[in-house]
Amino acid sequence: MNRPAYIELPDSSPLNALKQADLLIGGESRPSQSGRYFETVDPATEQVIARVAEADRADIDAAVAAARTALHGAWGHMRAADRGQALLRLADLIRQNQAALIELESLDSGKPVSAIRRQDLPAVLDTLTYYAGWADKITGQTIPARPDALTYTVREPVGVVGAIIPWNFPLMIGMWKLAPALACGCTVVLKPAELTPLTALRIGELALEAGFPPGVLNVVPGFGGKAGAALVEHPDVDKITFTGSPTVGRQILRSAAGNLKRVTLELGGKSANIIFPDADLDAAVKAAASGIFFNSGQVCSAGSRILAHADIYEEVVERLVARARAIRVGDPREAGTAMGPLVSQVQMNRVLDYIQIGKREGATLATGGGRVGDTGYFVSPTVFADVGHAMRISQEEIFGPVASVIRFRDEEEAIQLANGTKYGLAAGVWSADIARVHRCVARLRAGTVWVNTFGPTDVRLPWGGNRDSGFGREHGDIALENFTEPKSVWINIGGAPRTVSLRSATG
Ligand code: NAI
Ligand code: MG
């Protein structure tokens, strides 16, 4: 096999120093105990960016031990308000270093810099500042249970958190987990995806600079089956927060049983975007196009199934095809690029396989359908029309720029089709009929329903799914539950201590 050459960066790039990256454990940058490294690649050029230390079970042990020590050390004794200040300092440092972070994220993942600048980076900062504000507002309740007792609850950090993240939004999804965990006073072992480990390591360094004590945030790049599995199985990890595939989600649930650690899972979807004939078609198709082609379709809530009413079906397909053809696919570093490559050769081949499956299943390939160029993992924006509900391209998450347009005849059928997959992450409804909108919102089985829009998320609003999309919610105050453990306190204030005696129990 040809070994790809190291990427050539412009002389001005701050990333030139970055040819080798080590693990971040207990505040120190160190090689893995095995001494092994793996290479991470720029999917736009197929060139190697850096060698990254590969964490294994022994390194996970060390990272978990460092996190446990930090939990009971300086971090555990810090005022909650000071935890919030530390999060704000991290936000400042990310802002100061954003140009390099954006470039690094783009190199490692193939995401267009323009999209990272417009969407991911602002979301990272918003997430940090939002949870910074929560740090000193995580309160319990006093609950008047009875007159001879003072009874109240406190909410303590759940402990050591293992965060396992995917490659589609490394910075943003990473921060969705880090910010609430740290605000709640937990310590974290973060395992980034093996395809995109670089920005997580940089965030770990910035956290140290921001004054987080060593061991509060440990970053351990490595492979899922080794580093990821070791973290999930670890008896001294209290909680796993995961975003990725349902297959791995199920594996995590089984492996977490050892010490019954708490688990939240965000596992993607096959989200329906329903367009009724009374919708603003221009707005609907515009949003439907970005709903499936944004980030090359590598989005958990991608609107991969566009359900169009029979009366407007042909028009929706035609307009969607026109929009797909107008998308500029290319160099993620160029400002005008709307769509970059897929993250890896494996992912590209998976998507190209699904395109073949769609053709074999008898769907009409309306546009796209192939690789773009022969260097980099680019796939053209693809639209399948005449897609049958039972087809695999209608049922399975492709995680690429492939839209399936499905015809429906009435509201009832639209709901049946929309709910008719294993997934339940998100759904969209386009209609001007307010009664219809409310009926649909009530019947759609999804964690989020968008009406006359598709795709926005906000850290203040719960995010997550049901069924094969996983369980638990991130974002908002609801995510604080993920990282805290309630403790009930009962203080006898009634004089003689009251215990349940055998005599009173038996009368
Ligand atoms: P994956 O689920 O294998 O990887 C996600 C993360 O889990 C990575 O950090 C990986 O190292 C880790 N991991 C893998 N196996 C593990 C194990 N046994 N124990 C603990 N951690 C483990 O996703 P993959 O293979 O990269 O992508 C495959 C498909 O998964 C995609 O085509 C897409 O359909 C879906 N996916 C969904 C995502 C979402 O946002 N919900 C994100 C990424 C992938
Ligand atoms: Mg990479």
List pLDDT tens digits, range 308-343: 999 999 999 999 999 999 999 999 999 999 999 999
Q: Residues 335, 118: contact at Cβ < 8 Å?
A: no
Q: Residues 57, 226: contact at Cβ < 8 Å?
A: yes
User: Which residue has its alpha carbon closest to ligand 1 atom 41?
Assistant: 268
User: Which residue has its alpha carbon closest to ligand 1 atom 30?
Assistant: 245
Using CA of residue 112, residue 114, residue 120, residue 124, what is the dihedral sign? positive
Q: Is 440 part of the annotated catalytic residue set? A: no
Whether 397 shows a pLDDT value over 90: the answer reads yes
Q: Which of 69-78, 371-380, 494-503 has the lowest mean pLDDT?
A: 494-503
- pLDDT digit string (tens) for 39-69? 999 999 999 999 999 999 999 999 999 999 9
Q: Residues 272, 374: contact at Cβ < 8 Å?
A: no
- Tell how far the Cα of 83 is from the centroid of ligand 1, in angstroms: 31
The DSSP output letter for 478 is G
Whether 474 shows a pLDDT value over 70: the answer reads yes
More confident residue, 3 or 108: 108
- Tell how far the Cα of 47 is from the centroid of ligand 2, in angstroms: 9
Residue type (1 letter), 457: T
**pLDDT category of residue 16 using cuts at 50, 70 and 90:** low
Q: In whole angstroms, what is the distance from residue 167 CA to residue 154 CA?
A: 36
Mean pLDDT along residues 192-198: 98
Within 6 Å (CB) of ligand 1, which residues are found?
A: 164-168, 191, 193-194, 223-225, 228-229, 232, 243-245, 248, 251-252, 266-268, 300, 350, 397, 399
Which pLDDT score, from 0 to 100, does residue 167 have? 98
Q: Percent of the chain scored above 70 by pLDDT?
A: 94
Residue 357 to residues 352, 386, 402, Cα–Cα distance (Å):
9, 14, 12
Q: Percent of the chain scored above 90 by pLDDT?
A: 93
HEC sequence for 10-46: CCCCHHHHCCEECEEECCEEECCCCCCEEEEEECCCC
- pLDDT digit string (tens) for 99-123? 999 999 999 999 999 999 999 999 9
HEC sequence for 427-441: EEEECCCHHHHHHHH
Whether 3 shows a pLDDT value over 60: the answer reads no
- pLDDT digit string (tens) for 273-303? 999 999 999 999 999 999 999 999 999 999 9
User: Which residue has its alpha carbon closest to ligand 1 atom 8?
Assistant: 193
Mean pLDDT along residues 349-377: 98
Which of 242, 248, 343, 396 gets mutated to test ligand 1 (max ligand atoms within 8 A of its CB)?
248
- pLDDT digit string (tens) for 213-237? 999 999 999 999 999 999 999 999 9
Q: Residues 160, 187: contact at Cβ < 8 Å?
A: yes
Which pLDDT score, from 0 to 100, does residue 495 have? 72
- Burial classification of residue 259, based on how many CB atoms lie within 10 Å of its CB (0-12 exposed, 13-18 middle, 19 or more buried): exposed
Which pLDDT score, from 0 to 100, does residue 17 have? 60
- pLDDT digit string (tens) for 226-268? 999 999 999 999 999 999 999 999 999 999 999 999 999 999 9
Which ligand sits nearest to residue 350's alpha carbon?
A: 1
- Tell how far the Cα of 209 is from the centroid of ligand 2, in angstroms: 25
User: Which residue has its alpha carbon closest to ligand 1 atom 12?
Assistant: 224
- Tell how far the Cα of 168 is from the centroid of ligand 1, in angstroms: 10
Tokens of 22: 């080590």
Whether 128 shows a pLDDT value over 50: the answer reads yes
Give the active site residue among 54, 300, 397, 411: 300
- pLDDT digit string (tens) for 138-186? 999 999 999 999 999 999 999 999 999 999 999 999 999 999 999 999 9
Whether 403 shows a pLDDT value over 70: the answer reads yes
Helical residues (DSSP H) of 47-120, grouped into ranges: 57-72, 74-77, 80-96, 98-109, 113-115
- Residues whose CB is less than 8 angstroms from the CB of residue 56 and which lie 6 or more positions away in sequence, other chains included: 32, 33, 34, 36, 222, 226, 227, 230
User: Which residue has its alpha carbon closest to ligand 1 atom 40?
Assistant: 300
Which pLDDT score, from 0 to 100, does residue 497 have? 58
- Give me the residues paired with residue 487 across strands: 154
Q: Is 266 part of the annotated catalytic residue set? A: yes
Give the active site residue among 266, 397, 411, 474: 266
Which ligand sits nearest to residue 54's alpha carbon?
A: 1
Pairing of strands 426-430, 272-275: parallel
Give me the phi and psi of 92, to 5 degrees please: -60, -45
- Tell how far the Cα of 245 is from the centroid of ligand 1, in angstroms: 5
- DSSP one-letter string for 123-169: HHHHHHHHHHHHGGG----B----TTEEEEEEEEE--EEEEE--SSS
Which of 245, 292, 350 gets mutated to test ligand 1 (max ligand atoms within 8 A of its CB)?
245
Per-chain mean pLDDT for the chain: 95
User: Which residue has its alpha carbon closest to ligand 1 atom 15?
Assistant: 224
Helical residues (DSSP H) of 229-368, grouped into ranges: 229-233, 246-255, 281-293, 313-326, 345-361
Q: Among the atoms of ligand 1, which is closest to the Cα of residue 173? A: 40
